[in-house]
Chains A and B, each alone.
Chain A
């Protein structure tokens, strides 16, 4: 029996989401045309990943942020969403920004992704958008993946930044030019490395979708618990 780590992992970026920040975050994805287009593509990738995961019916959206993906998740009429986030403010903002008909199917849960407050195999799918690229430490990533493995009954959908594309190459070059050891809170993880980590945590890779193949860094993976 694995007992949770004595000191749950807490990363500095998770403290910044207060009420104002959360509202700003919600508006961020709907102000410019480019953002809207990118959001549409995000939704499309999420839809594809959900289909690949056999349309799970009990989904833990973690971190749910401003509930950006709730409308997509709610497209399947028989789906119940557990909205998990480390920030109570974020959860409150998310709930204030969506219609009551949708909120009926969303249960909020304030929890850390490293120590999810749910029993084993409690949900069909852990839906984790835009979190993994904040986690640069392989040990932390593995701890989180193991926690996902514990909580999910079947699948995990997650998005992250991978290498092997123009943006990642440019980012690496800029970093070399700057040569600063400044604090970073977003990381590109080599696809090979992260896929090895998925397997190590006990997952099979069902498939992945790139935001814009060979150009953009975003990639959505769909994983299933190994038999």
Chain B
């Protein structure tokens, strides 16, 4: 994931935590709504029951006789009467209310109060709310505990479900990583999973990996077949050249041309070795021997290209370090392939001026005075089959890609810059860092 693009909040959570969050949210919402409903319903029902009971009680008291003066009817239930002969007046805190239900707080105690008038007589029924409040508290407690319990259950269930659902996906993801490197005798993935969506995914991976493996195998076989099959005819050509060379007089035109043919044959054989080596991949088990120095290869390449440069009217310069006794050694075919491709490329794209090969302690430069490559195309130039917009001739664009592949396998660095005097400057670093 790139750091420059912040991911949306919902994507930051893994699938598992999203399942847990969804479970818990849903459960808390539902349980919360239910709790509120239950509390409201209980509250309303209790209010209804209390008022109804009190009305009935008062009716009963009034109907049962006139001797019912102010007294306590039962625990928490008081009756006050005033207006009848001999009745004391109502306490001050009960005065001033109209008929009906009122909630009155007196001395810190809450009373549900029913006022009623029968002619001149006033009845007041008081119900201590203490019990009611206690009930209500218990109800709240039970509902609250139920709410918490359901949220907790949802969390646990969510965690369990998430683990159950996600575990196979996580395992599959782990198994697929770097699977192309696994030995071919590895069993397929699909039998490990039930035939559900994950099983289908596993089967899809199996078939894709199978195709990938086949394609890789085809490529490797193709390269090694081609390389192998080319060797024999090349050997025939090379040996015939050698025989002919012995027969022709040295210095004659035919001899010179045959010599070139013979040399090209040798180069081709080396190229085949290089292709084979590249096709074997990065297994690194059979590295090529480091058997030559930079200066030796450069000298050889100068011999090879100087004549062609002269024919095209170009100057060819070889500059830099002379052969050093303890100079580092490199695999000859690879270094030769890199250098000759860069030189061929330089000669090919230069009409006038010069091609310059400069040696350093840790690499070399190839500079030309050709058309150069626009900066936008410089990165693309190393991809196979790509040539600059000023392409020409019969090259098929593989040369620089081959250079790039050899360099990346060897841990060398190749870069392309603009030559200060116009044209291109290819820089190869054989010992980066």
Q: Which residues on A sit within 8 Å (CB–CB) of B179? A: 153
The listed residue (B178, B187, B287) touching A79 by CB distance below 8 A is B187
The listed residue (A78, A107, A153) touching B182 by CB distance below 8 A is A153
The listed residue (B174, B187, B191) touching A58 by CB distance below 8 A is B187
CB pair B181–A121 under 8 Å, yes or no, is: yes
Q: Which residues on A sit within 8 Å (CB–CB) of B3? A: none
CB pair A54–B187 under 8 Å, yes or no, is: no
CB pair B192–A124 under 8 Å, yes or no, is: no
Give chain B nearest CB distance to A116 CB in angstroms: 12
CB pair B177–A153 under 8 Å, yes or no, is: yes
CB pair A57–B187 under 8 Å, yes or no, is: yes
CB pair A153–B181 under 8 Å, yes or no, is: yes
If the complex has contacts A58-B187, A78-B192, are A123 and B411 also in contact, measured as CB distance less than 8 A? no
Q: How far is the CA of A118 from the CA of B183 in the complex (A)?
A: 9
Within 8 A of B (CB), among A19-66: 54-55, 57-58
The listed residue (A78, A119, A124, A154) touching B191 by CB distance below 8 A is A78
Does chain B have a CB within 8 A of A77? yes
Give chain A nearest CB distance to B185 CB in angstroms: 6
CB pair B192–A58 under 8 Å, yes or no, is: no
Does chain B have a CB within 8 A of A174? no
The listed residue (A54, A107, A121) touching B171 by CB distance below 8 A is A54
Q: How far is the CA of A225 from the CA of B91 in the complex (A)?
A: 86
Q: Which residues on B sit within 8 Å (CB–CB) of A120? A: 181, 283
Does chain A have a CB within 8 A of B45? no
Does chain A have a CB within 8 A of B75? no
Does chain A have a CB within 8 A of B63? no
If the complex has contacts A57-B175, A153-B177, are A122 and B183 also in contact, measured as CB distance less than 8 A? yes
If the complex has contacts A1-B284, A54-B171, A57-B192, are A123 and B182 also in contact, measured as CB distance less than 8 A? yes
CB pair B181–A57 under 8 Å, yes or no, is: no
Does chain B have a CB within 8 A of A80? yes
If the complex has contacts A1-B411, A77-B191, are A58 and B181 also in contact, measured as CB distance less than 8 A? no
Q: Which residues on B sit within 8 Å (CB–CB) of A154? A: 174-175, 177
Does chain A have a CB within 8 A of B186? yes
CB pair A124–B186 under 8 Å, yes or no, is: yes
Give chain A nearest CB distance to B212 CB in angstroms: 15
Q: How far is the CA of A37 from the CA of B188 in the complex (A)?
A: 35
Give chain B nearest CB distance to A127 CB in angstroms: 15
Among A77, A78, A82, A107, the one with the most B-chain Cβ atoms within 10 Å of its Cβ is A78
Within 8 A of A (CB), among B158-194: 171, 174-175, 177-179, 181-183, 185-189, 191-192
CB pair B185–A54 under 8 Å, yes or no, is: no
Q: Which residues on A sit within 8 Å (CB–CB) of B191? A: 77-78
If the complex has contacts A1-B411, A77-B191, A119-B283, are A54 and B183 also in contact, measured as CB distance less than 8 A? no
Q: How far is the CA of A71 from the CA of B280 in the complex (A)?
A: 37
Q: How far is the CA of A79 from the CA of B175 in the complex (A)?
A: 13
If the complex has contacts A54-B171, A154-B174, are A80 and B185 also in contact, measured as CB distance less than 8 A? yes
The listed residue (A1, A54, A57) touching B186 by CB distance below 8 A is A57
CB pair A54–B182 under 8 Å, yes or no, is: no
Give chain A nearest CB distance to B281 CB in angstroms: 9
Q: How far is the CA of A107 from the CA of B183 in the complex (A)?
A: 12
If the complex has contacts A77-B191, A119-B283, A121-B178, are A58 and B411 also in contact, measured as CB distance less than 8 A? no
If the complex has contacts A78-B191, A153-B177, are A124 and B182 also in contact, measured as CB distance less than 8 A? yes
CB pair B185–A124 under 8 Å, yes or no, is: no
The listed residue (B175, B181, B187) touching A122 by CB distance below 8 A is B181
CB pair A80–B182 under 8 Å, yes or no, is: no
* Nearest B residue (CB) for A78: B191
CB pair B181–A119 under 8 Å, yes or no, is: yes
Q: Which residues on A sit within 8 Å (CB–CB) of B177? A: 153-154
Q: Which residues on A sit within 8 Å (CB–CB) of B187? A: 57-58, 78-80
Give chain A nearest CB distance to B366 CB in angstroms: 26
Q: How far is the CA of A82 from the CA of B187 in the complex (A)?
A: 12
Q: Which residues on A sit within 8 Å (CB–CB) of B283? A: 119-120
Give chain B nearest CB distance to A123 CB in angstroms: 7
Mask, A150-177, CB within 8 Å of B = 1, is 0001100000000000000000000000
Q: How far is the CA of A120 from the CA of B283 in the complex (A)?
A: 8
Mask, B360-387, CB within 8 Å of A = 1, is 0000000000000000000000000000
What are 8 A-B contacts with C-beta separation under 8 Å?
A: A3-B284, A58-B182, A58-B187, A77-B191, A78-B187, A120-B283, A122-B181, A124-B186
Residues of A whose CB lies within 8 Å of any CB of B are 1, 3, 54-55, 57-58, 77-80, 82, 107, 118-124, 153-154
Residues of B whose CB lies within 8 Å of any CB of A are 171, 174-175, 177-179, 181-183, 185-189, 191-192, 283-285, 287, 411
**4 more A-B contacts (CB under 8 A) besides A1-B287, A153-B182, A154-B177?**
A57-B187, A78-B192, A121-B178, A122-B182
Closest 5 CB pairs of A and B: A121-B181, A58-B186, A78-B191, A122-B183, A1-B284
